[in-house]
Amino acid sequence: MSSPHVPTVSVTDLPTAPTESVVLLDVREDDEWTLGHAPGAQHIPLVDIPARIDEVDIDAEVYVVCRQGGRSILAVEYLNNIGYDAYNVSGGMVAWQQAGLPLTSDDESGTAKIY
């Protein structure tokens, strides 16, 4: 999923790890996050972003990810409209897993799997 007016990057073009100046923001729901997420990602479900916006560093580059890219586009549009430097992660966590990038899980089984 993509939008012509939303800056987008592929999972393979992301900075190597979240830092003070780079945030990977995961906007999926709690149950999706629990199954598997990127190490070091910050988790705020899409519907909670306006209420929790102070938790996202406005001075950082914010890379936004969801499952496949729909919700992250909405989040990037919102963030960029209020002054953030935000980018949509194309293909979301499905593309992340397909690219063989590392996953961590809060699931009791210890198995991280997105799809």
Which one from 66, 86, 95, 112 is the annotated catalytic residue? Answer: 66
Domains and CATH numbers, the chain: 8-98 (3.40.250.10)
What pTM was estimated for this model as a whole?
0.90
Is 82 annotated as catalytic?
Answer: no
| Torsion angle of C-alpha atoms 102, 80, 60, 34, degrees rounded to 10 | -30
For residue 25, pLDDT over 70 is answered with: yes
The one-letter amino acid code at 64 reads V
In tens, the pLDDT along 3-20 reads 668 999 999 999 876 677
88 touches 66 (CB < 8 A): no
Pairwise CA distance, residues 12 & 110, whole Å: 25
DSSP H helices, 6-105, are 30-35, 70-81, 92-98
In tens, the pLDDT along 29-76 reads 999 999 999 999 999 999 999 999 999 999 999 999 999 989 999 999
Q: In whole numbers, what is the pLDDT of the chain averaged over residues?
A: 90
Arithmetic mean of pLDDT, 70-92? 97
Name the band, by pLDDT with cuts 50, 70 and 90, for residue 101.
very high
